[in-house]
């Protein structure tokens, strides 16, 4: 097993310390706060440990206050419902006896549906056409901020603060300060190394990855990106996610992002995740506080 996969599995392998009580840790104590994707992924793992033979179909998280990456996180799970078809869990993430995040997760047994439709996957070049080597040959690649270039250099090392999330942007202009005319941006995303064949694990892994660069949807029309945070202060306020169809988080997924609104120091980002065969597998929504550093 590679170090990257071991690191991700360690994040998602919570320690049971009591009835419906689990302890998790952060991978990078040097950060100034706990990554939001980590909180929702670990909450998803904790909730899943209390449910049998049902898969998560939605989560709704509210980030109450920043988490300290130096301090263990305790996840307390409360069973709110166990009906014939659905189970609902409330997960409270605590540090120093203070709540830092509250997450509701709903599980479903699965059933035959009288209805079946989805949004159409937009046209986009396949990930093989937007490789790191291709991006490195872009005339403006060397002009990218160091924090951005670091993610897209060929032979990028796995030993990064985050587990092995691989990103391939379809649009490149907003990294160079260009204001994008289209309301949407597109990324190919996946866990860069093979994960065990466990559907619940893949759901938690995608929940983790879904928070990475989602706010670029808000900033792209201004020619800015969250990966170059020198003049942007962003903090997630909440995060919601719905899981529609089966997927593997270590396969390429097209992450289509857009922002219908930004005002009063807040920005709303929406995301749709498609398999390569066009199936819509998940939908994401997040609002964040976004301010310009003065």
**Residue 119, domain member (yes or no):** no
Each residue of 77-136: pLDDT tens digit? 999 999 999 999 999 999 999 999 999 999 999 899 999 999 999 999 999 988 877 777
CATH number at residue 78: 2.40.160.210
**Residue 137, domain member (yes or no):** yes
Lowest mean pLDDT among 17-26, 74-83, 180-189, 223-232: 223-232
Q: How far apart are CA 44 and CA 199, in angstroms?
A: 12
**Residue 247, domain member (yes or no):** yes
**Residue 144, domain member (yes or no):** yes
Decide: pTM greater than 0.85.
yes
Residue 161 in this model has a pLDDT that exceeds 60: no
**Residue 102, domain member (yes or no):** yes
Question: Who's near 246: CB < 8 A, 6+ residues apart?
Answer: 199, 281
Which whole-number Å values give the CA distances from 261 to 185, 193, 226, 227, 233, in the listed order? 15, 35, 17, 21, 17
Number of domains in the chain: 1
Question: Who's near 193: CB < 8 A, 6+ residues apart?
Answer: 2, 4, 5, 158, 164, 250
Q: How far apart are CA 35 and CA 28, in angstroms?
A: 10
Report which of residues 11 and 228 the model is more confident about: 11
Point out the residues that are catalytic: 211, 236, 286
Confidence at residue 147, expressed as pLDDT on a 0 to 100 scale: 67
**Residue 116, domain member (yes or no):** no
Confidence at residue 228, expressed as pLDDT on a 0 to 100 scale: 61
Q: What percent of the chain has a predicted confidence (pLDDT) above 90?
A: 63
Confidence at residue 159, expressed as pLDDT on a 0 to 100 scale: 47
Lowest mean pLDDT among 42-51, 114-123, 168-177, 216-225: 168-177
Confidence at residue 156, expressed as pLDDT on a 0 to 100 scale: 59
Band of pLDDT at residue 262, cut at 50, 70 and 90: very high
Distance of alpha carbon 55 from the chain centroid:
18
Mean pLDDT estimate for the chain: 89
**Residue 31, domain member (yes or no):** yes
Report which of residues 231 and 261 the model is more confident about: 261
**Residue 149, domain member (yes or no):** yes
Distance of alpha carbon 287 from the chain centroid:
13
Which ranges in the chain belong to alpha helices (H)?
Answer: 3-12, 36-48, 132-136, 146-152, 199-210, 216-219
For range 194-217, the mean pLDDT: 93
Q: What percent of the chain has a predicted confidence (pLDDT) above 70?
A: 90
For range 55-77, the mean pLDDT: 96
Quote the domain boundaries for residue 206: 3-109+126-292
Each residue of 213-233: pLDDT tens digit? 888 899 888 888 776 655 777
Confidence at residue 230, expressed as pLDDT on a 0 to 100 scale: 57
The 10 Å Cβ neighbour count of residue 170 is 20
Confidence at residue 205, expressed as pLDDT on a 0 to 100 scale: 96
Which whole-number Å values give the CA distances from 31 to 1, 34, 204, 209, in the listed order? 26, 7, 22, 17
Residue 182 in this model has a pLDDT that exceeds 80: no
């Amino acid at each position: 097993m590679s170090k990257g996969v071991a690191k991700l599995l360690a994040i998602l392998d919570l320690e049971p310390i009591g009835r419906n009580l689990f302890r998790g840790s952060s991978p990078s104590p040097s950060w100034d706060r706990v990554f939001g994707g980590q909180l929702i992924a670990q909450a998803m793992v904790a909730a899943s440990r209390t449910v049998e033979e049902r898969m998560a179909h939605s989560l709704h998280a509210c980030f109450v206050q920043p988490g300290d990456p130096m301090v263990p996180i305790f996840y307390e799970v409360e069973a709110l419902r166990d009906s014939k078809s659905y189970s609902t869990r409330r997960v409270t993430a605590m540090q120093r006896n203070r709540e830092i995040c509250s997450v509701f997760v709903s599980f479903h047994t699965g059933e035959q549906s009288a209805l079946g439709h989805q949004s159409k996957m937009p046209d986009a070049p396949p990930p093989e056409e937007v490789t790191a080597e291709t991006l490195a040959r872009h005339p403006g690649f060397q002009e990218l901020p160091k924090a951005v270039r670091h993610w897209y250099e060929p032979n990028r090392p796995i030993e990064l603060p985050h587990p092995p999330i691989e990103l391939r942007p379809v649009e490149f202009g907003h990294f160079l300060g260009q204001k994008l005319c289209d309301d949407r941006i597109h990324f190919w995303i996946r866990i860069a190394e093979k994960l065990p064949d466990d559907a619940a694990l893949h759901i938690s892994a995608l929940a983790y990855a879904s928070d990475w660069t989602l706010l670029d949807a808000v900033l792209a029309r201004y020619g800015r990106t969250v990966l170059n945070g020198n003049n942007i202060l962003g903090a997630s306020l909440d995060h919601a996610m719905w899981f529609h169809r089966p997927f593997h988080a270590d396969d390429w997924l097209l992450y289509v992002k857009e922002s219908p609104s930004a005002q009063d120091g807040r920005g709303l980002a929406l995301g749709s995740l498609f398999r390569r065969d066009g199936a819509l597998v998940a939908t994401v929504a997040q609002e964040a506080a976004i301010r310009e550093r003065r």
